[in-house]
Amino acid sequence: MTTGDDGDGESQRQRQRRQQKREGSSNNDGGSNFNFDELAEAIQEMREKKKDEEEEGDDENDNSWQNHPAFWTKGENGNMEDWFDENSDEFQALKALLLDDGDLTTKEKAEMQKQKGNGQLKYKMQKMYIRKAVEEYTLGIALCEDALRCEKNSSGAEEGEKEKDEATTTTTTSDEKKEEIERREIRTLLSQLYNNRAFAALNIGNNKRCVEDAEKCLELDETNIKAYFRAATACKNLFDYERCLKFCKRGLEVEKDAPELKTLKKVAKKRYEAEKAENERRLEINRGSEVLAKTLTQTKKIKWGPPRLHTGQRLPEYDEQAKEFAFFTLIVYPEFDQTDVIQQFREHDSFKAHLDVLFDPNGPPLPWDEKNEYDRNSVRLYYETNAVKPYEEKALAMKIAEYAGGDVKETMMQSELELNLAAHRTDPRDRKFVQLKSENWTLADVLKEKDYVVSGHPTLFCVVKDSAFEKKFLDGQWTY
């Protein structure tokens, strides 16, 4: 026999639960025999048994099942942890059982649930006890809301009868006064239950529920300083600093020297202002990107598409004063798979000026050109037409904004090759290497060519004139 089982097969966990129930009943000052855990535990054990039968031996699924006990539904997303299912048939059955208990008034039953929940929250470091607290508070809330709803309906019916009966007196009876006092007490208790459940939700990590319950508490009692703090804290956890500040300000209007709210307000204000400044920066980038894309496509008549080389997307810089772009430009030596980079190739610079620098006779020799074939007079430049399909202006604006740090959702960089090239790929038979007509041409002359589309950045191909490799290059025997 193992340490976890009795002779009759009862587990140690079941014995502990039974003992806890007996202790809970003996400590109940309300005089009611109702115990929330009794039916909940029975339902949970039935569900666990059924789950074990369906997926015997699957430890991972068993653990997942344990994480979602009876009456609880799985959270929607990262901001919504599991939460109590108030619409379940099981919970409605539990509520009906407590309502049928005639030994206590509604107020006494709700107060009992509040105290039970408070007792569970003493162990708030453990998720199981927080869940139990939520269960107790939720049942108390349901009792209060049902009572107030019934009284409202009853009051409405009585008003109708009074209008019909002219003999009805307007004097408030002693019973009516008692009912009004009890109604106010139930409303007060309901606000406390919502506030306490908001605290439990905050501890369990369900920030959205915390805000919802805190707001319901404040609808009933707008002076509850703890509800303001809990709602503000949950908003901070949700990165909603603007809303956090609003709760802080409302709370400080009630208690101007509340230390926790004052501290939280400072933190939220700092983060809100930083977030606001960042959003404004991103919006400014987005606006500038739209202008830049329009300038490229409409004013400069430049067609731009996704990159095909490992160098990726390199968008140009615009000189407002000179009204011209400066481009990252790649010079490829296909014969040796080597490259040179011109970081700032202004659109009105001639190719001659840059070739003079690249092949300066007084400069160091090219390490990969062992035969010294590449010199200032021997080279010829080509560009490729129809390399890719161009972006539309709106899409180009998004790319510019993205690379400038604007407000966009997708990071492109290397994934650009995988995600966008397929949609912009051209038929290889339509691609063609075209010789630069003159070294006196500027980069703008190439960019305006009818079939030239910038593939990530301007790219030129450099080969030796009339060489055997140039013939292979033009015959399509070299690709990238």
Write the CB contacts of 439 (distance below 8 Å, at least 6 apart in sequence).
350, 351, 352, 355, 381
pLDDT in tens, 130-153: 988 998 999 999 999 988 887 666
* Tens-digit pLDDT profile for residues 183-223: 999 999 999 999 999 999 999 889 999 999 999 999 999 99
Structure tokens at 155: 């009051």
Number of neighbouring beta carbons within 10 Å of residue 317: 14
Between 3.40.50.10860, 3.10.20.90, 1.10.3430.10, 3.40.50.150, what CATH number should domain 304-389+425-474 receive?
3.10.20.90
Query: Positive or negative CA dihedral for 273, 277, 278, 280?
Result: positive
- Tens of pLDDT, residues 66-78: 444 555 666 555 4
Task: Report the C-alpha gap between 80 and 207 in whole angstroms.
Answer: 7
Q: How far, in Å, CA of 45 to CA of 39, rounded?
A: 10
Report which of 110, 91, 146 is spatially closest to residue 30, judged by C-alpha positions: 110
Handedness of CA 152, 157, 160, 162 (dihedral sign): negative
Global pTM exceeds 0.85: no
- Asked if 431 and 438 count as a contact pair (C-beta separation under 8 A), the reply is no
For 58-116, strand residue ranges (E) read: 72-73, 83-84
Amino acid 51: pLDDT: 58
pLDDT surpasses 80 at 113: yes
> Could you tell me how many residues make up the chain?
480
In this prediction, residue 243 carries a pLDDT of 97
pLDDT of 425 reads 85
d(Cα 227, Cα 364) in Å, to the nearest integer? 74
Q: Are 121 and 130 in contact (CB under 8 A)?
A: yes
Residue 266 has a CB neighbour count (10 Å cut-off) of 11
Hey, how many other C-beta atoms are within 10 angstroms of the C-beta on 334? 19
**Domains of the chain, residue spans:** 32-53+63-151+178-271, 304-389+425-474
Q: What pLDDT is stored for residue 166 in this prediction?
A: 47
* pLDDT mean over 382-390: 95
Mean pLDDT of the chain: 80
Report whether pLDDT(326) > 60.
Answer: yes
- Cβ-Cβ contacts under 8 Å for 185 (sequence gap 6 or more): 107
Task: Give the torsion through C-alpha atoms of 169, 171, 177, 178, to 10 deg.
Answer: -50
User: Residue 356's pLDDT band (boundaries 50, 70, 90)?
Assistant: very high
Q: Report how far residue 447's alpha carbon sits from residue 453's, in angstroms, rounded to the nearest whole number.
A: 7
Weakest-pLDDT range from 93-102, 377-386, 409-418, 428-437: 409-418
Two tokens, residue 197: 């459940």
Of the candidates 436, 429, 440, 441, the one whose C-alpha atom is nearest the C-alpha of residue 461 is: 436
CA 247 to chain centre: 22
Mean pLDDT score, 456-462: 96
Q: Which residue has the tokens 């007079």?
A: 377
Mean pLDDT of 38-65: 54
d(CA 236, CA 230): 10
**Highest-confidence range of 89-98, 168-177, 263-272, 319-328, by mean pLDDT?**
263-272
Residue 93 banded pLDDT, cuts 50, 70, 90: confident
pLDDT in the model for residue 35: 56
Residues 345-374 as b or e (16 or more Cβ within 10 Å = b): bbbebebeebbeebbeeeeeebeeeeeeeb
pLDDT of residue 29: 45
Distance CA 226, CA 224 (A): 6
At residue 172, does pLDDT exceed 50?
yes
Highest mean pLDDT, choosing among 33-42, 85-94, 281-290: 281-290
The structure tokens listed for 178 are 């008692």
Residue 142 in contact with residue 97, Cβ under 8 Å? no
The fold for domain 32-53+63-151+178-271 equals 1.25.40
